[in-house]
Structure 1
Amino acid sequence: MQYAQVTLPNYSYVFNFESEFSHQPTRTWMSENWTLGFYYVGLYMVLIFGGQYLMQNRPRFELRGVLCLWNTALATFSIMGAVRTLPEFITTLTHHGIYNSVCIPSFIEMDKVSGFWTWMFVLSKLPELGDTIFIILRKQPLIFLHWYHHITVLLYSWFSYTEYTASARWFIVMNYCVHSLMYSYYALRAMGYSPPRQIAMVITSLQLLQMVVGCAVNFWARQLLQSNIKCHISERNIKLSLAMYFSYFVLFARFFYKAYLSGDRRKPKSRPANAEYPGIKSKVH
């Protein structure tokens, strides 16, 4: 697809691996292999419930050092992703407006930097399943929100990349930014620090806002398509994305209420010395 007069951000520095990125081979690979995600999800579910079964009569693993490294690595990756995708997002909004930001996938096809980090974002949803390994081995409560979120994000991201869904520009930037805060918070907790509980509430609130924005972007794109205005997103993708974001909103809102607002939460409870820390996935990570 050709775009006329697309304004690209003026990066102060471009890494070799970014400048050498070519989007065509990655799209071809994903188009041929995105359904592998279902096999990974199947294996993931076996590991979840099989792991819980194997661990039920075994002592928990601490894994604080490994958990610290894991969260620090994911925090660093997310921060890099946010820093490298935000310039293109802001440039598109300021120079071309909301329509281009939702309907024109130039962030993949024209911008090598943003294109590379979009590809990294999509691939990262597979190793992020590793979050659950720590929950299983440390015998932490595994709530439905956690594994449902991991599964659906992986499948949706891989499928959307095959279509170069233009609205993904919004979803990717929001996710990178929220994950930058979230995994940094987890890393600090794993290191033994105790950030104020309000930080966890802010992270949860940002995730809820992410779901609201995601639904709004999809509704707007759907209106454009119904008005016969060209927008590079399929009706099927909009339906899948709306279902996903709305279900996330309901689940995260329920979690927010139970974690921070319900009377039961405010009652003092005895917690084990190494109980998992609070936050958006407080009982998750």
Structure 2
Amino acid sequence: MVTAMNVSDEADRLFQPYNFERFQDLKPYLEEYWATSFPIALIYLLFVFVGQNYMKARKGFSLQGPLILWSFCLTVFSILGAVRTWGHFGTMLLRASLKQSLCFSSFSNSPVIRFWSCLFVLSKVIELGDTAFIILRKRPLIFVHWYHHSTVLVYTSFGYKHKVAAGGWFMTMNYGVHAIMYFYYTLKAAKVKSPRWLPMFITSLQILQMIIGATVSILIYIWRQEHGCHTTTEHICWSSILYITYFILFANFFHQNYIMPKIKVKTKIQ
């Protein structure tokens, strides 16, 4: 049987790391970041409350130029992350098995995965800037937005610290969805007309991501007793709770924004 280690080595040969991906491993520093992620999340939530109150009596800023640049940079970053990580994990899935890709964390020794995992964890802090733009421009800030941003920030640092194997798939899915999402945000900020189905498609991908995430949690719970399956009870518990709540919130957002308006229009016509 092909081992996850052998497949990981094969993926390394197929996807040679660039020089910038061979930088010094930040894992020791990011493991300590796990404790720091909590105060960062709390400061973020405080900013949400204070920022909205501060802007209540003030006119919203335009910030079109900075928002275009912000969204475009995150688009490029997400595309690069998706291309590099999907190539590695796709090889593992095709050459080994789903179980090995979810249970064994040997892939984290790859310079490519190590580099993009570090950036992925740090990017969750950078992405909090999305909320700053919403508040400063006085756009509606919905619960699912700040809940998702704050909890993902803490959860990704937890998964990185404990070297959770299944976290690799959470990362690759997130890179892929964000590549499309931030591309849409760039078009929207630039006031470029995009297909009407695009935002619905993005929300559908987010819901699918939550379904796959919950399924992954179930699978690693089933396989957790097998020798070498690297996971923890804490990880299974928190990933299940978060992905279920994400699914409910994104499904409700989809219903409120894409189903209900059609029902109202149909009712008016009748």
| TM-score computed with the length of structure 1 as normaliser | 0.87
Which of 234, 248, 251 is equivalent to 1:250?
A: 248
What is the DSSP-based 3-state SS (H/G/I as helix, E as strand, rest coil) of the residue aligned with 2:169? helix
Cα 1:31–1:9 change in 2 (3 A) is: closer
Distance 1:136 1:4, change over 3 A: closer
Partner of 2:92: 92
Residue 33 of structure 1, CA deviation = 2.8
Q: Quick one: which amino acid aligns to residue 234 of structure 2?
A: R
Q: CA deviation at 1:131?
A: 0.5
Please, which runs of 5 or more residues in structure 2 have no aligned partner? none
Which residue of structure 2 aligns with residue 163 of structure 1?
162
1:15 paired to 2:13 = no
Shift of 1:10: 3.8
1: CA distance between counterparts of 2:144 and 2:76? 24
Q: By how many angstroms is 1:19 displaced?
A: 2.5
Alignment correspondent of 1:206: 205
Counterpart amino acid of 2:161? T
Local SS of the residue matching 1:233: coil
1:94 Cα deviation after fit: 1.0
Q: Alpha carbons of 1:256 and 1:3: their partners in 2 closer, same or farther (altered >3 Å)?
A: closer
Classify the secondary structure of the residue corresponding to 1:35: helix
Gaps of 5+ in 1: 269-285
Asked whether the 8 Å contact 2:89–2:101 carries over to 1, the reply is yes
Which residue does the alignment assign to 1:120? 119
Q: Name the aligned partner's letter for residue 222 of structure 1.
A: Y
Q: By how many angstroms is 1:4 displaced?
A: 4.6
1:5 aligns with 2:3: no
- Do the aligned partners of residues 236 and 68 (structure 1) sit closer, same or farther apart at CA in structure 2, a change above 3 Å counting? same
Give the superposition deviation at 1:125.
0.3
Mark the CA change 1:265 to 1:76 in structure 2 (over 3 Å): closer, same or farther: farther
Q: How does 1:1-285 map to 2 (within 5 A)?
A: 4-6=5-7, 7-11=10-14, 14-22=17-25, 26-109=26-109, 111-225=110-224, 227-263=225-261, 267=265
CA distance in 2, matches of 1:34, 1:115: 17
Between Structure 1 and Structure 2, the one with more helix by share is 2
Q: What are the Cα deviations for residues 153-207 of structure 1, in whole angstroms up to 9, with x where unaligned?
A: 0000001101110001110110000000000000011111111120111111111
CA distance in 2, matches of 1:98, 1:264: 39
Deviations 1:9-30 (Å, cap 9, x if unpaired)? 44465321212343xxx33222
Answer whether contact 2:4 2:101 (CA < 8 A) is retained.
no
Question: Structure 1, residues 73-130: CA drift from partner, whole Å, max 9, x if none?
Answer: 1101000100110111011001111111101112212x11121101110110001111
Q: Matched residues in 1 for 2:238 and 2:65: separation?
A: 38
The corresponding residue for 1:280 is none
Q: Output the aligned Cα RMSD.
A: 1.9
Tell me, in whole angstroms, the C-alpha distance in 2 between the residues paired with 1:264 and 1:16. Answer: 51
Instruction: Specify whether residues 13 and 167 from structure 1 end up closer, same or farther in structure 2 by C-alpha distance, changes over 3 A only.
Output: closer
The answer as to whether partners of 1:103 and 1:231 remain within 8 angstroms in 2 is: yes
Equivalent in the alignment of 1:275: none
- Give the length in aligned residue pairs: 262
Q: Residues 35-64 of structure 1, C-alpha deviation per residue, up to 9 Å, x if partnerless?
A: 111111121112111111111011111111
The one-letter amino acid of 1:16's match is: N
* Paired AA for residue 236 in structure 1: E
After TM superposition, give the deviation of residue 218 of structure 1 in Å: 0.7
Q: Which amino acid aligns with 1:254?
A: N
Quick check: 1:55–1:139 contact (8 Å CA) kept in 2?
A: yes
Aligned residues: percent identity?
Answer: 42
